[in-house]
Amino acid sequence: MVLLLAAFSGFLVFIFYVIPAFDKFFKSFPNMPAATKATLGFFMNINHYFAIYGLTILMIVGILAYIWISNYKDVRGKFYKRLAATPGIGHFFRFSYLKWYLYEYSVLLSAGKTHASIVKYLLDNAKNDFFKDKFTVIYSYLLNGSTLTEGLNSSDLLRPEDLDRISSAEVGGRIDETMLLISEEYEEIVNLQMKLIGKIANYVMLVVIAGFIVFMFAGIYAPMMQGLMGMAGG
């Protein structure tokens, strides 16, 4: 966020103070380099229509935010399902929710609740359609007299190694402890992935800022130096 704020602040200073000064300066050149002319034209356009561009972006963001927080469940449901099916990101998405669901399962089971009542509770309180569909499958299996492991296996919700652990715990009567351990493992995985995402975001931001500086140098500063050197040589 600090990098983004610094980059945006520098961009505003560049657009409203640096570019106009360069524009006036280069107009005194008899033959302005083509790269400089194109770059100045691009950024002067942003300078002149900054309010329009800014309001357009805010309007688009506002519409997207309204769709997200409104009752457009179909839109959100499709988004979650597509996100959960995405390699890499899908695991992060699943684990972020599953760590809470498994923790709740462990607590409710320790309090004496049945598997069917717990899954029904999770089904009624699931925040998106992806997990609602999964809990619906598990709940139907439990109502038909199947084991929790069979329901979880059919729903394709957990990793194979976690299913093996829950299957053993179901036989030994230690499902609440096993659920809690898996929840803690998922939380650790999510934390590691968050750190990785943070590092990647920092590197991407640095690359963007470096690219912006290189683009400015190639489009304005380098032609300016060439023009000044040509004038000095003349």
- The pLDDT tens digits for 197-227 are 888 888 888 888 787 777 767 666 766 666 5
Tens-place pLDDT, residues 70-101: 666 667 667 777 777 676 667 777 888 889 99
Residue 62 lies in a domain: yes
Domain end residue (candidates: 63, 85, 107)? 85
Same domain, yes or no: 94 and 69: no
Rounded-to-integer distance, Cα 39 and Cα 188, Å = 47
Domain end residue (candidates: 186, 204, 229)? 186
* pLDDT score of 229 more than 80: no
Same domain, yes or no: 153 and 71: no
Mean pLDDT of 42-71: 84
Residue 142 lies in a domain: yes
Residue 224 lies in a domain: no
Q: Could you tell me the residue range of the domain that residue 120 belongs to?
A: 88-186
Same domain, yes or no: 79 and 143: no
How many domains, the chain? 2
Rounded-to-integer distance, Cα 57 and Cα 55, Å = 5
Percentage of the chain with pLDDT > 70? Answer: 83
DSSP string, 8-36: HHHHHHIIIIIHHHHHHHHTTSSS--HHH
Q: CATH code at 116?
A: 1.20.81
Rounded-to-integer distance, Cα 129 and Cα 63, Å = 22
Rounded-to-integer distance, Cα 69 and Cα 71, Å = 7
* pLDDT, mean over the chain: 82
DSSP code at position 127: S
Same domain, yes or no: 92 and 75: no
Mean pLDDT of 185-194: 88
* pLDDT score of 65 more than 60: yes
65-74 CB burial, b ≥16 within 10 A, e <16: eeeeeeeeee
